[in-house]
Amino acid sequence: MNFQTIPPIETADQLLDIAFRGMNEALTAYKTKKLSGTAIENAKVIAKERIKTMSGILIKRTKGILESFPSFDSLPELYQALIKALIDYVALKKALGSLNWAVKAHGEMAKKYLINVSKTKDRKRIEALIKEYYGRASSIAKQVKKELVFLAEVRNILRKLPDIKDMPTITLYGFPNVGKTTVLKHLTGANAKISSYPFTTQKINVGYTTIQNMKYQLLDVPGILNREKMNEIEMIADITLELAGEKVIFIIDPTEEYPLEQQERLYKKVKKMRKDVLVYISKADIAEKDMVEGLKKKYNAVSSLPAVTASSFFRLKAKID
């Protein structure tokens, strides 16, 4: 699912500026035409054109914003869960409902004033009706002002979500700064930023690799501290682990930046999910050798010894089936 195609969301003022500008441009072009009716008939024709053009632009632009968002209830389960964790879902539904109301209101208001213009026989009254229509149309646009700002924020959040495909998937999981992004880079060649600070991975990094003639999608999720109250980053990791794929590479850092006991407790939690879990021991070249060997035997794990080299990742790939 790719949310990058959602275009920028205009504010209420921007929508009105676009509508007034478009109406004036259309009116200028229309006035070049020779009108054959009486003065009052011609005034009505021009007035109707102004209303039709302005309402048409407002309806088209507002409807376009609505249609740029996906049908959230029909999204894959993973995306539904991520969106509900990151966004006020009730407010999102209400905002989209408000825009749907605005589309209908613009149409009904234009219809009402087109009828009123048709019925009048006074040119001054026609001008008064046009001014009234501008005010009513502006009021409708401004009534969804807050909703448009909120939807612009939602767009920014959605565009940060990765394009996770429906295909065989392996999730890279573990505490912060244990080396998940390094594993992703070496297994897939994905150009993810790597640094030595916890929570460097602020979102899900995605890469692809072929293992034993099977193409896999690898997800490098944010590090998690295995605590009851999670922050937003950790919720993303937990949801992705639960709903994306059946295979997990669980990465243990034996240098104990985070206590080994806590890392093993998190491992047991993952195992309870009935996932196919493979353990990779990172930073083995700077850890105590006996500890690394003990972990390898305990979990039938692959380590980064003799260092982070192609051979260690070849062994890791060989364990995946």
Per CATH, is 169-319 categorized as 3.20.20.450? no
The confidence score (pLDDT) of residue 74 equals 92
How far is Cα 106 from Cα 114, in angstroms, rounded to an integer?
A: 12
The per-residue pLDDT for range 122-158, each reduced to its tens digit, is: 999 999 999 999 999 999 999 999 999 999 999 999 9
Beta bridge partners of 276: 247
Token pair in block for residue 319: 């364990």
Q: Which of 98, 86, 90 is nearest to 142 (CA)?
A: 98
The per-residue pLDDT for range 235-244, each reduced to its tens digit, is: 888 888 899 8
The chain-wide mean pLDDT, for the chain, equals 87
The per-residue pLDDT for range 43-62, each reduced to its tens digit, is: 898 899 999 999 999 999 99
The confidence score (pLDDT) of residue 47 equals 92
The DSSP result for 52-105, as a single string, is: HHHHHHHHHHHHHHHHHS--GGGS-HHHHHHHHHHS-HHHHHHHHHHHHHHHHH
3-state secondary structure (DSSP) of residue 201: coil
Burial per residue of 152-163, b for 16 or more beta-carbon CB atoms within 10 angstroms, e otherwise:
eebbeebeebbe
**Phi, psi torsion values for 305, nearest 5 degrees:** -70, 145
The per-residue pLDDT for range 168-189, each reduced to its tens digit, is: 999 999 998 898 888 888 888 7
Q: Which strands, in side-by-side order, build the sheet including 214-220?
A: 205-211, 214-220, 169-173, 247-252, 276-281, 302-303
The confidence score (pLDDT) of residue 311 equals 61
CB 260 within 8 A of CB 298: no
The confidence score (pLDDT) of residue 309 equals 53
Do 12-160 and 169-319 agree at the fold level?
A: no
Token pair in block for residue 197: 């600070």
The confidence score (pLDDT) of residue 206 equals 87
The per-residue pLDDT for range 275-289, each reduced to its tens digit, is: 899 999 988 888 898
Q: In this structure, how many other beta carbons lie within 10 angstroms of the beta carbon of residue 165?
A: 14
Give me the residue spans of the domains in the chain: 12-160, 169-319
Q: Is the C-alpha dihedral spanning 60, 62, 67, 69 positive or negative?
A: positive
Q: Is the C-alpha dihedral spanning 17, 23, 26, 32 positive or negative?
A: negative
The confidence score (pLDDT) of residue 202 equals 63
Per CATH, is 12-160 categorized as 1.20.120.1190? yes
Q: Is 19 exposed, middle or buried (0-12, 13-18, 19+ CB in 10 A)?
A: buried
The per-residue pLDDT for range 2-37, each reduced to its tens digit, is: 788 899 999 999 999 999 999 988 888 777 677 778
Write the Ramachandran bin of 212: left for phi over 0, alpha for psi from -120 to 50, otherwise beta.
left
